[in-house]
Amino acid sequence: MGDPLYAHGIDLAVVLITILKVILTFLFLLLGVLLYIWWERKFISDLQNRIGPDRAGPHGILQSLADGIKVFFKEDLAPTEADRRVYRLAPYLAAVPAFSAFAIIPIGDKISIAGHQTYLQLADPPIGILFLLAMSSIAVYGVFLAGWSSGSKYPLLGSVRASAQMISYEAAMSLAVATAVLATGSLSTRAIFVHQSVWNWNLWQLGVVPFGIYMVAATAEVNRPPFDLVEAEQELVGGYMTEYAGVRFALYYLAEFMNTITVSAVAVTLFLGGPSGPHINFLPALWPVVWFFLKLFAFVSFYVWLRATLPRLRYDQLMDLGWKRLIPLALYWLLLIAALRVGDDAHWPWGVNHGALNAITVVAAAAGAGVVFFGGLGAAIRVGAKRVEEETARAGGVRA
């Protein structure tokens, strides 16, 4: 598809517009992180019948900015045993991919800047989804190298745990993303957005299951509760960030919230139609942006609600869910969507003119998914109950 900004060659105006889009995207993410941190603290305080931040600015809305300024002037420490080059590089390997991944997200339709038509999107590469997955993979290096280069056993244990978690759930997340690519037939995020109409989202077209898998896997990928085991204070102190302070710690903190915004934007684009929404004649170019941010706000608020509601999983439960439940289910659903797509291309008897057989196929798919997921969930519950009984009996024996 390509951005029309580059359709007639590159001149000084095109370069300046591109630089302007980069700056605006970066400022939006920074401002979004500051507001998201404030919203998380305020939302959780309301859920817990507390006041929350209320000193800096109206309703405490400038509290995140005040915290950022404070941490910027804190002393930057480096452990004696640290590999200093890698130690200093690691935070950037975590923060830069978070920003780069958001660059391919479409947030609106075409606009005109100085007589040049361009998309409300920083970049629309034809392999946008592959770029997204590549950035997700690079972020793992920022986590692991932070623990390895710190020269301390606690960050190293935290980074190993974090890397295993991110790699495990990245497999399930990639399979869920692949279903959206398979249904659309394109790796371009804008093509995936255009493929979905106002309400004909991939969420319904793919049978909801890939969306659920993506949400669980993405939550674990960005270390959000209940999967925030990389910072399990009672076990690992501060995880892979234990030895970091000042600006470098702020970069990891920034990357975590920026990643949450990015994975929410990806979910909106792949499964909820992106900027698509009801057409309104008044300021028609504005409403796609409004629909996109409304959907994005709903997602980030959902993450806050999860943080305030669910307890942290044990690490064995986390890995069991990823490898034994999500990956088999995601692979099963990907093969199912592939079979349906091949059938449509070959005009097999399950298209729109064969509704009964199509319904049977969907029911069979749902039954298979239920067997994989709920069967595994039941087994996990039984194993957990047995462990609780054993630990209770062991504790009783020790007291006796």
pLDDT of residue 319: 87
What are the tens digits of pLDDT across the range 268-304?
999 998 888 887 777 777 888 899 999 999 999 999 9
Q: Residue 372's pLDDT band (boundaries 50, 70, 90)? A: low
pLDDT of residue 360: 44
What are the tens digits of pLDDT across the range 49-62?
888 888 888 888 88
Q: Residue 239's pLDDT band (boundaries 50, 70, 90)? A: confident
pLDDT of residue 354: 43
Higher per-residue pLDDT: 109 or 239: 109
Q: Residue 359 pLDDT more than 50?
A: no
pLDDT of residue 65: 87
pLDDT of residue 339: 83
Q: Could you tell me if 66 and 290 are in contact, meaning their C-beta atoms sit under 8 angstroms apart?
A: no
Mean residue pLDDT of the chain comes to 82
Where are the domains positioned within the chain?
77-346
Higher per-residue pLDDT: 344 or 249: 249
Q: Could you tell me if 81 and 152 are in contact, meaning their C-beta atoms sit under 8 angstroms apart?
A: yes
Residue 116 DSSP SS3 = strand
Q: Could you tell me if 104 and 131 are in contact, meaning their C-beta atoms sit under 8 angstroms apart?
A: yes
Q: Tell the residue number behind the tokens 């991919």, with chain if given.
A: 97
pLDDT of residue 375: 57
d(CA 226, CA 311) in angstroms, rounded, equals 6
Three-state SS letters, 51-97: CCCCCCCHHHCCHHHHHHHHHHCCCCCCCCCCCHHHHHHHHHHHHHH
* Pure H helices in the chain: 12-47, 63-72, 84-102, 128-149, 153-184, 189-195, 202-205, 209-221, 233-236, 246-271, 287-309, 315-320, 327-345, 355-399
- In terms of Cβ atoms closer than 10 Å to its own Cβ (0-12, 13-18, 19+), residue 385 is exposed
Phi-psi region of 246 (alpha: psi -120 to 50; beta: other; left: phi over 0): left
d(CA 309, CA 44) in angstroms, rounded, equals 9
Q: Tell the residue number behind the tokens 């869920």, with chain if given.
A: 176
d(CA 367, CA 379) in angstroms, rounded, equals 17
Query: Which pTM does this prediction carry?
Result: 0.83
Phi, psi angle pair for 117, to nearest 5° = -80, 135
What are the tens digits of pLDDT across the range 175-197?
999 998 988 888 889 888 888 87
Q: Residue 236 pLDDT more than 60?
A: no
111: which strand partners? 118
Distance of CA 57 to the CA centre of its chain: 30
End-to-end distance of the chain based on CA atoms, in angstroms?
A: 73
